[in-house]
Every structure is written in structure tokens, then in C-alpha cells.
Amino acid sequence: PIIDRHRRDGRRLVQILREVQDQTGWLSPEVLSWIADAIAWPRARVESTAGFYSFFHTRPLGQYRILWSDNITDRMLGSQDLMQAMCRKLWLEPGRVSEDGLVSVEATSCTGLCDQGPAILVNYRAMPGITLERVDKIVHLVRNRVPLAEWPAEWFRIEDNIRRKDILLDHGLVPGEALSAALARGPETMLTEVRRANLRGRGGAGFGTALKWEACRQAEGSQRYLVCNADEGEPGTFKDRVLLNSYADLVFEGMTIAGHAIGATEGLLYLRGEYRYLLDDLAATLERRRREGLLGRNILGTPFNFDIEIHLGAGAYVCGEESALIESLEGKPGKPRIRPPFPVVRGYREQPTAVNNVETLASTCLIAARGGDWFAAIGTAKSAGSKLLSVSGDVEQPGIYEYPFGVTVAQVLADSGARNPQAVQISGAAGTCLADDEFERRIAFEDLPTAGSFMVFDRGRDMFEVARNFVHFFAHESCGFCTPCRVGTALNRRLMDKIAAGQGSPYDINEMFKLHRLMQGTSHCGLGNSATTALFDTLTKFKPAFERRLQSLDYEPGFDLDLALSQARQMTGRDDPGAHLSQEDKT
């Protein structure tokens, strides 16, 4: 029935794999062969998709799969100690399935709950605010094989934590109001309004929305598609989670307005796998909007037909890149395409496709209802409207803050109750790290463009560990398609771990600078191009945090024999002084 429901269409492979895995527990070789036969795809293609995404499993899994969000903000809240405590209590090593096949515990990339961490996913259901007491209770429930449906419901409650509203979060529109204004205007006039509004993409790059829509509308094609990119994977970002949780009508209405403007009849919402818990409510909102005549055929009594389908991702940060996202929508591994052609010319199913961010689409409702000039008057000359910031880290009140563009970093720090800040990481692991002499800079495309992540680090934080967390993140998330990124992120991880182990030297720092220059110029997509930005910033602005870990500022060890013997010590169970080489022996 799963395959038939997806019309035996291989392009829906990611959805098929997820649903089959839900039933079978894991994707065994037999299951993959059966799926390949059913959709008439070579088995190797099915296997390559199944092997690409971290939420698909081609080896048996435990009955309970516990994933610990491993963003730096989770770590700052004690996630590593809590995960170790859970593993000890379950007699388990991280990353392994227990001998009885009951449970596995491992780390995963940021789950978008940085305002209420440390967070975990239990069989993909999100649970925020983990404490040692909660760990004890979870271990008890797991040991007693209590079904997840019987766990306390309040453990899974996710708060929005909206701290400051502006034009978008305080929009005052009723469902259908913006859409009916857009339909009355017609596609051409709506495009003119979006151009007058100077609306720019909220995903961080700031590409002109009207320009994108016009290019898509004018491109040759038998069908056009509108895709909402809700693959919010940038560490420290969670504003799309809140928009989809409490402003879903606004997002779907924005998608419908965009679909009308570009001449599409189908819209796709690509929801990150970590936000699976939003799926049922989103599907219910879509259903209600169909009943209310706001989706489907003859919307609001006009000839316009448009419907929306939700696709769930499966744990791959790179799918936030629009062409990788389209590959994923087509059932393939999410590897970025070679561009041109750009998706507006040849995107989903080889047809013109406009991919927009959740917040961008929600903002179009304001433009439809209030006009482009009204929207353009808010913010700065080059950054019209407002921006949602996901504020986390060392602040009294983490959560969502909406400001007109142009707000200073200092203002956000003051409003969120930042405690003695030494640094702010803007726009996630791929973004910019600001030192305290830069806090008068402004959130705006002309100064600090951002997708919305705003992580604060007080003076007690070790900026080396912040950078190391980001370096590990990129090494894990590189899709492996191109050599500079695949090898460069792995080398950076090795160098940072070496320095963390007290084995680093100035040579290693120079190597990282070299890798930064190389990866920026030669990587195939934005992930590789920006993978070293935060490391470079931190190295430049917080150099003492690195230098104090170097073994000697002028001694450059080529090889550490004692370290190389650590595996042998582990195998023989010896770690006494006699099993180590002294410093003298080493030299």
C-alpha cells in the first residue's frame, strides 16, 4: 500500500523509504530490493539514496533510538555529560545498539531546539529541556519497554518562546485575507508589488524575490513549481519551526500567493526530518484550508488551482541548498547540482521551480495585504521589512525576536538579557563570529546578512571549543561530492582534535588557514565555501583560545609515538605509567 499510495513513482523514494522504515524498523537488503523492483529503479540507485540520509538505516536499529542534539548551545547546557550518563545507565557505548537490540544512543546535528535545550529525539519525536532527573526516568521507561505513546505527553511539549513581535508575528491578518488581495491584484501586479517591496530572501543570501519569481514565470516549461524550503538545518536556527508551528496559515497562504504569481499549480513544502512532529498539524491545516476554499480547485471562486504537498527530509543539512533539496524531492541523494541551469529555469522534474524560504513566503502575505510601498518603508534602504532572529546561548531569555532590519547586535543582546557576552555567532556555523568591538554592527543585508541564527557566548566560554563544534558539524554534513570540501572538512576536524588533545603546533594553525583559502575558492556549493568561515573568524579574533592549547609555540612535533600507542593500550587494557612513553623517551 505504501508504494501504491506513492503511485510507484521513484521520485518519491525518500518518502517511500521513510514510510517503509517506519513499518519494518530498518531498511534491510531484501526491503531495498523489493522497493527497487516496485518502482522499477536499479537497486544501486535505491541503495545510494538510502545510504545518503542519516535518518535512514541499512542496519538493524534498537526499539528506542535516542539522538542527542549536538549543537554548541546544547553542549553549553550540559548535553555531553547527560548523554554519557544515559549511556552509562543503559550500559551502552554511544553510537552502538544494545546487545538485546533494545536501544541506541548517539549524537546528531542541531535539532532546532536551541532555545530549550539540551534536546533529544526519541524515535524522531523531539523532547526539549533534558535534565539528569529526566535521563533517569527515560532509562527506566526504556528498560521496562514502555511504548513511546505512553510516555508523559508534557515531555514532548515544544514552546514557541516568542519574545518580540513586529510586523510579521503581529500581522493581524485572517486566513484568506492576503490571498484574496493577491488574487484581486492578478499575477503581474502582485509581482510589481513584491518588486516595490524590495523583498529579499530570508534564507541568508538575500536574492530578490521578485527577480526569482519573474525568471520562473518567464522560463519555458509545461508546468511550474513553487517549493517552500523548510529544511532549517543551520545550527542555532529555529524561527521556521515557530512559523510552521503557530503561523502555518501565513506560510501556506504565502506559498499560494507565490504559486499564483509564477503560474504554478503545485507547491511542495520540504520539511526537515527533525521537525517531523509538526507534520500532523501541518497536514490538518492544509486540509482545513482546502475545505475553506483556500487551496485546491477554483480557489476563492476564481479559476486559480493550486495545492500543496509536504515532503519530509531525512537528516541532511546540505538539502538546505536549493538544488540539493530538489534532488531530494526527486528521490535522489541530496547532492547540489551543477549550475546553471538554475532551478528557476530547470528545477523540480526539469521544470521551472521557485524555491523560497519559509519566512520569505510568510512575508509576501504582508505585501499582498498592505502593498509594496508599505513594506519597503520598514527596515533599511537595502533590507526592507523585518527579520526573525533565533536567539540562544548565554542569554536570560532565549527565543524568537522579530525586529525591523537595521537593529544592532547590541540591541538584541540587551533585549535578550545577554550575560557578559564575548562573542556572537551570526547565521549559524556557516556565518560570522563577532567579537565585542563589533556589537554595533547591524542585522541587514548591507552589513550582517543572516538566516536568523544568533548564538551568544559569554566570557567564560572557550571559543576554541565553539569552533571545534562547527568543524565537526561540517565534517559530518559534507555530502562528499567534491574533493576540497570532503577532504578539507575531514582534515580540519583532525587538526582541531589534535590541538584539543594537546598535540597541536603553529604548523596546524597555518594548515587551517591554508585550507580556508583553498576550500573557499574551489568547493562546489555554499556548504564547502562557508565551512571554514566561523573557524577563520574565531582563529583571527580569538587566537589566544587556540594558542594556549598548542604544545609549544616553537616545537612542531611530526609524530607522537605515545599517542599512536593509545589503541594498543586500549586493546591490552593497560593504562598504567609503565605503558606510556615519558616525554624524554619521546624526544
Contact criterion met (CB below 8 Å) for 199 and 367: yes
Query: Which residue's CB comes closest to ligand SF4?
Result: 528
Q: Which is nearer to ligand SF4, 103 or 482 (CB)?
A: 482
Asked whether 448 and 287 are in contact (CB, 8 A), the reply is: no
Nearer to ligand SF4, 278 or 319 (CB): 319
How long, in residues, is the chain? 587
Contact (Cβ atoms closer than 8 angstroms) between residue 506 and residue 486: no
Contact of 363 with 254, CB cutoff 8 Å: yes
- Phi and psi angles of residue 516, each rounded to the nearest 5 degrees, phi first: -60, -50
Indicate the SS3 state at residue 335: coil
319 membership: H or E segment, kind and range: none
Alpha helices (H) along 263-350: 279-291, 322-329
Looking at the Cβ atoms of 11 and 486, the one nearer to ligand SF4 is: 486
Between 417 and 480, whose beta carbon lies closer to ligand SF4?
A: 480
Min separation Cβ 520 and ligand SF4, Å: 11
Which of 333/352 has CB closer to ligand SF4?
333
Q: How far is the CB of 480 from ligand SF4 (least distance, A)?
A: 5
Q: Grid coordinates in use for 44?
A: 544501486
CA–CA separation, 207 vs 7, rounded Å? 36
Closest C-alpha among 471, 352, 398, 384 to residue 168: 384
State the nearest-atom distance from the C-beta of 486 to ligand SF4, in Å. 5
Go through 348-384 and write b for each residue having 16 or more CB atoms within 10 A of its CB, e for each that does not. Answer: beebbbbbbbbbbbbbbbbbbbbbbebbbebbbeebb
Q: Toward ligand SF4, which CB reaches closer, 16 or 319?
A: 319
CB of 168 to ligand SF4, least distance (A): 31
What is the torsional sign of CA 239, 241, 242, 248?
A: positive
Q: Residue 216 or 485: which CB sits closer to ligand SF4? A: 485
Please state the closest distance from residue 433 (CB atom) to ligand SF4, in A.
21
Residue type, 506: P
DSSP secondary structure code for residue 303 in this structure? S
**Of residues 289 and 524, the one with the C-beta less far from ligand SF4:** 524
Q: Least distance from C-beta 54 to ligand SF4, angstroms?
A: 14
Read off the C-alpha cell for 235. 545550527
CB of 270 to ligand SF4, least distance (A): 17
The least CB distance from residue 119 to ligand SF4, in Å, is 25
- Rounded Cα–Cα distance for residues 72 and 324 (Å): 25
**How many H helices and E strands in the chain?**
26, 14
In the complex, least distance from residue 317 CB atom to ligand SF4, rounded to whole angstroms: 8
Q: Which is nearer to ligand SF4, 364 or 523 (CB)?
A: 523
Q: Which one, 105 or 324, has the nearer CB to ligand SF4?
A: 324
| H helices present in 144-247, as ranges | 177-185, 187-197, 209-218, 239-246
The grid coordinates listed for 410 are: 547590541
Residues at the interface with ligand SF4 (CB under 6 A): 318, 336, 478-482, 485-486, 523-525, 527-528
Q: Which helix (H) or strand (E) holds 409?
A: helix 409-416
Q: How far is the CB of 203 from ligand SF4 (least distance, A)?
A: 16
